[in-house]
Amino acid sequence: MRHLQQFYIDGEWIEPSGSTRLPVIDPSTEETIGEVALGDARDVNRAVAAARRAFASFSQTSVEARVALLKRLLEAYVARYDEMADVISREIGAPTKLAHAWQAALGKRHIEETLRTVETFPWQRKKGTTLVNHEPVGVAALITPWNWPINQIVCKVAPAIAAGCTVVLKPSEVSPMNAVLFAEIIDAAGVPKGVFNLINGDGPTVGAALSAHPDVDMVSFTGSTRAGIEIAKLAAPTVKRVHQELGGKSANILLDDADFEAAVTAGVNSCFSNSGQSCNAPTRMLVPASRHDEAVLIALRAAQKHRVGPAGDPSTTMGPVVSDVQFGRVQRLIDIGIEEGASLVTGGPGRPDGLERGYYVKPTVFANVNPSMTIAREEIFGPVLAIMPYRDEEEAIAIANDTPYGLAAYVQSKDQERARRVAMRMRAGSVYVNYPAWDPGSPFGGYKQSGNGREYGEWGLEAFLEVKGIVGYGA
């Protein structure tokens, strides 16, 4: 990729201040597919200064001008859509179908949703003689993960630009290529110089410098809870806004009247989607104790239908996990599940047969998991499902909520009213009733250690806005 060893700052592709490089690894083959430049505090200072200069004028542009800019961005994105899908497939190991139908598609849909939101958003309103005005928060540092990379980039960049903010993006150094491609798309769309800036680098260096920088007004971070805590600490001395979407350990409650064949199968497939590397994956399947064994047999059949293999193989339904580090973590937690006495239904340690290279994990299902086990409490971020029996509805709700996380929850029932009632009691930012279609306009974010604030739709836009009251405006 042409610009992989450069940064996009102040509307130009520039050389980094240092010489550190990091290989980008294809997780399907363990082969190097490029080298990305890693920045340092000097690059952060240059990018933040560019964003600060640009903010003075860009913050004063009209909503109509920003809508026109987003429409150009959408057009430029669509022009390179297939390339975006291919890049993501290769650098994170997403199967080709998933990369085209979902990974790349989410970037497009977030721009479209932002356009719908901006055109109807109440930017100003009167309250008596006071004018309530929404204004951009300032320079926003955006720190994004590797698992759904362009999704998390665009769901931050699009509303930030719509709000009138300027941004500095630090994507994951594990999957930097899609971010470089997105910067090329930004350039092609004619985004004014300094409004969008890209620096590649690691969290302890570039991420930390952005979080602590006095000229950064806001940090929007998606990633692990551990990293989110460190970012909050670094940001605290400058009292900047910190917006976080962190880890999850989502419960999927199957009530006793659910269609188990359909509900268990869909739950397994949802858990294993993207090789289990989704923060909102339904990794804890709660089933009535009387139907536990039935659920286990259905889950076994569903898991065994998955075809693990290289991302580019058309028959692959599950690619590798993203890296050697992630592979090791998943293997360790599978071993712990066995050691702690959970029943291994299928999968388990090691690579699937015939796959000697690549970070491939066997689709794994555990049964008879109790709430105190490590695999019921820690986010695994791999294709590992824990089936947990419960006695009655009250215990199911208690088990579901007994977690430090609160990103998502799932409820399945033939009785819609019953499902709604249970959903209202879930301590989670998103609850999905009977596997609905994905909604880019629904608020997305978590309770407890899953973060604070919300993304998507109007909530994503509000995250980048300050509220000003001009008292006496209408007197």
Per CATH, the number for 7-246+450-470 is 3.40.605.10
Concerning whether 279 is annotated as a catalytic residue, the answer is yes
Decide yes or no: CATH 3.40.309.10 for domain 251-439: yes
pLDDT at 120 over 80: yes
Phi, psi of 220 (to 5 degrees): -110, 115
Q: What pLDDT does 9 receive?
A: 98
CA–CA separation, 92 vs 79, rounded Å?
22
Q: What pLDDT does 246 receive?
A: 97
Tens of pLDDT, residue by residue over 333-349, are 999 999 999 999 999 99
Report pTM.
0.97
Tens of pLDDT, residue by residue over 256-289, are 999 999 999 999 999 999 999 999 999 999 999 9
Catalytic residue among 245, 379, 455, 458: 245
Q: What pLDDT does 475 receive?
A: 83
Could you please report the per-residue DSSP string of 213-269? -TT--EEEEES-HHHHHHHHHHHGGGT-EEEEE-----EEEE-TTS-HHHHHHHHHH
Nearest 5 degrees, angle CA 294-CA 297-CA 300?
A: 150
Nearest to 398 by CA among 286, 292, 294: 286
CA–CA separation, 206 vs 355, rounded Å?
36
In which residue are the tokens 């599950």 written? 318
Q: What pLDDT does 20 receive?
A: 96
Give the dihedral sign, CA 40/45/48/54: negative
pLDDT > 70 in the chain, percent: 100
Report whether 238 contacts 209 (CB < 8 A).
no
Catalytic residue among 155, 165, 271, 279: 279
In which residue are the tokens 């509220």 written? 467
Concerning whether 64 is annotated as a catalytic residue, the answer is no
pLDDT band of residue 87 (cuts 50, 70, 90) is very high
Instruction: Parse the chain into domains and list their residue ranges.
Output: 7-246+450-470, 251-439
Residue 19 neighbours by CB distance under 10 Å: 9
